[in-house]
Structure 1
């Protein structure tokens, strides 16, 4: 039993939780603000009012039903930020399809795993982006599709995937044989389709509606299964902490395939009748500055490195950012000087800090618009409404006294349903009382403010991306010349951390850094490819044979002459 002196806090119980599905809540919001602008996509030159967005969402939902998809089926989205992404987010929710977020940085091995792990029946993808050829990767996985006529697909490597749609500009661009245009899919739907209402009556707010892959400590990522109730309420209370109203216009340069974009961004906005603004398909600081000025944005999201890039852009002083008020900085710790500059130079006096993890929808703690600056930088705020947090001794499970360091655990509506078809890992993550064990080390002060002081020993955060070294290690073990490998995170002033691999080569074999990087290219995401590669005879170990990763890290810090203080 927790006492007042324990590291335990419970959020407010008002306003009450939303008990509708995402589709029902969105429709109700449309009736409240039908003519208000809901979505502006600058790079696609598109604008939608709430009523117009609802029409296109219903059209797409009808088209998805027309494919023979049924509530509970999984549908993937493999794309950067665009109109099609938000249409998919809302349309799948309308008819009970589970949207599967696929990171655009994924390569062949990762996308094959993701599609098959959750049994994706359909996929919407960008055709290409910069050097990434998404259609090419799919053809590499399923070369037999090249000879198939349009219609249902069939592949040995991707046995569940029956439909692929590529995001196009209607009537323009090259054809991709076997794959249909997204615009043609959209045209096949009927916004007045009576099946929409009959399907909606079958849905419940505790149904799974979203799958997000989180890096696992072993093997490939796990699929965190989130419900309407999870992410709709989390988006609402995030918006409440930002004091969003119908007058707000939120610039969202963070990726939609993360909770940051689709929950802290899209759902926070849509639950308050405000306007979503996408400046570009992927982050580019100049387009953010241009969009904030042109669209008179009142809010801006980003990880610290994004705000730094905007502040340090050579044309920064040219832009009028006086309309800005709020936003969220999350993804990695915020340096106090950066926060001061964001408040002073970007007019974001009410910027907030949020903390969470995908498995908790994601936000558990958040500062508010009026949290004192010192608390806003040194802590991640207070527990959100309708949630509980506690800090425990990782060994005994006992709740620790205020001020003591231990593992942060979260309980309440935001905790995921579980890892997709993985009850063992789910039980390891969520205890019998319903607490999600985050693996992050934290403290709680006398006022209830939570401070994250560390994290699970293996996880690396590179540029806002969570990477577990074990996944990289298991991939590198596939290299025919690698006998053993250990991967650690090394402090880096630009990305927060960089990956370093120590490799033991098989006897009689030779291997070079370029050979390792070439092996990774096109198979794993670019941010998972180690920047530093060293070939060693052995790893530092304890007398019992346990590898001491901290010694690897310390050796690299010394070799590279890295100042720990600079990267704190």
Structure 2
């Protein structure tokens, strides 16, 4: 009954976005057969989109363009290729790729088999990727070629290369693996796919800075309720053209990949965000929706303003936009106003996380009225604000945000990773409050975490790594969250050894880069004779040298 209620509540917004569109009686039958066979998985979404809009462009990326029919057929062929390599329902398949067709093809292929995709961050070090694959028993790996050579010990893992623009220049230990388009083109089309595979969870590796990142387990939705939470506030429409700058290896990008397929939209995907390319794509493909993050939107609007000032003919070629939706870093009110001044009140906000799924969403009109809003609590979501004693606080009072919904994670993949909870709701780690109108406002982190380039960074983890290194006697790392970009300030005391005397800024950064994720490389390094500590042994930050931030 509850699932039926959730579906019924979602119908109006789904219909408005074209998600329930079908072509004739045959289209209804295909829709029913697909959802019966594959549930609300990526396989169902690909089948439904190919049935409704076979020739409509699905993806425009650095590899070219492909239609929805080509996407579906390619994913089927890749699934057969994985199956021929031993992948079965319940097996884990690593996916390590920047934004391109590679991730959608791999995720849809996994759904055809009932395999669990292990979505990994390309910024992870080779050691981290290797540890993930070993710890979680990865059967196969679909990875952009540039990352494969950095991963040690791939023995026993079936590797398929993703984006690979220069195959002739690959080292021998990488070139021996087949490319994704080669697998699609050469796999026997008569290999039968499982009829009704049990759908297993998607595992998104949450930002990790030391050791192995945490695997967040997300189940296959039983209803489209989560989409019904977004679509009333963010006006997706059937067959739109969407600039999807949000990283597909994050939950935010993963969610919008779902919505893009559901609405049969064209996704413009670029492996690396380039504001010049972003403006050019808006002109060439008549983009009418943008899914991004504040740091990208800031650079995009700056480039657009520069281009329009240089050539007035540019202005009428960019837009109109149905929506520009931001998530990840909180979008500064000044940026909301700048974007709205150019495109109208179309800037929306999504507040959620890999662990929680959606928490609050603000429409263009709501954000234009008050750019400080995170939004109203999404349909089917429970959210409360608690003080340090776990008492619920009244409107206007700041406390820690706790939340739960059907899309909250099932848990971390490793039992060693724990999460704080209260009456079934998970702690977000964010501070915030509800105003008298019921809008959620976010005020920062409850702990020392900062967000750097869209990635969660805990300064203490870099600190604990560096203090173990030869030549370092003491270290303190402080995260400074600026308007959009965070800095890591690293205060280092050398020991009186040859190793200590040989250390310099570059050496410390290289240590971090070789062993940790990119976002944990310090931005500023200050060499100190000693660290100011109080009687309890804690560093006194106010007594540290001041650093000019980025």
Instruction: Name the TM-score, length of structure 1 as normaliser.
Output: 0.82
The alignment partner of 1:173 has SS state of: helix
2:456 is aligned to 466
CA 539–168 in structure 1, closer or farther in 2 if over 3 Å, else same: closer
1:486 is aligned to 476
**Deviation by residue 1:222-266 (Cα, 9 ceiling, x = unmatched):** 111111128965355334421212142211122211122221x21
Equivalent of residue 491 in structure 2, options 499, 502, 510: 502
CA 445–36 in structure 1, closer or farther in 2 if over 3 Å, else same: farther
The alignment partner of 1:195 has SS state of: coil
Q: Does 1:271 align with 2:262?
A: yes
**What's the CA shift for 1:213?**
2.4
Q: CA RMSD in A?
A: 2.9
2:547 is aligned to 560
Distance across 2 between alignment mates of 1:215 and 1:456 = 18
Distance across 2 between alignment mates of 1:30 and 1:55 = 12
**What's the CA shift for 1:525?**
3.2
2:77 is aligned to 59
**Deviation by residue 1:32-57 (Cα, 9 ceiling, x = unmatched):** 62336252324222121x33321111
1:135 is aligned to 148
Q: Does 1:324 align with 2:315?
A: no
1:367 is aligned to 362
The structure, 1 or 2, with the larger RCO (C-alpha pairs under 8 Å, 6+ apart) is 1
The alignment partner of 2:355 has SS state of: helix
Q: Is the 8 A contact 2:451 2:485 kept in 1?
A: yes
Q: Is the 8 A contact 2:532 2:543 kept in 1?
A: no
2:192 is aligned to 194
1:402 is aligned to 395
The alignment partner of 2:193 has SS state of: helix
Dislocated runs of 4+, deviation >6 Å: 16-19
Q: Is the 8 A contact 1:40 1:47 kept in 2?
A: yes
**What's the CA shift for 1:344?**
2.1
Distance across 2 between alignment mates of 1:136 and 1:32 = 39
Distance across 2 between alignment mates of 1:110 and 1:172 = 25
The alignment partner of 1:185 has SS state of: helix
Distance across 1 between alignment mates of 2:81 and 2:333 = 49
Q: Structure 1: 5+ residue runs without aligned partners? A: 1-10, 129-133, 143-152, 155-160
1:418 is aligned to 411
2:521 is aligned to 529
**What's the CA shift for 1:417?**
0.8
CA 98–471 in structure 1, closer or farther in 2 if over 3 Å, else same: farther
Distance across 1 between alignment mates of 2:223 and 2:402 = 18
1:146 is aligned to none
Distance across 1 between alignment mates of 2:298 and 2:223 = 29
**What's the CA shift for 1:416?**
0.3
**What's the CA shift for 1:342?**
1.0
**What's the CA shift for 1:369?**
3.4
CA 415–492 in structure 1, closer or farther in 2 if over 3 Å, else same: closer
Instruction: Name the TM-score, length of structure 2 as normaliser.
Output: 0.84
Q: Does 1:81 align with 2:99?
A: yes
Q: Is the 8 A contact 1:93 1:209 kept in 2?
A: no
**Deviation by residue 1:339-381 (Cα, 9 ceiling, x = unmatched):** 1121222x253220111111013x2111023325133x11110
Q: Is the 8 A contact 2:89 2:115 kept in 1?
A: yes
The alignment partner of 2:511 has SS state of: helix
1:46 is aligned to 65
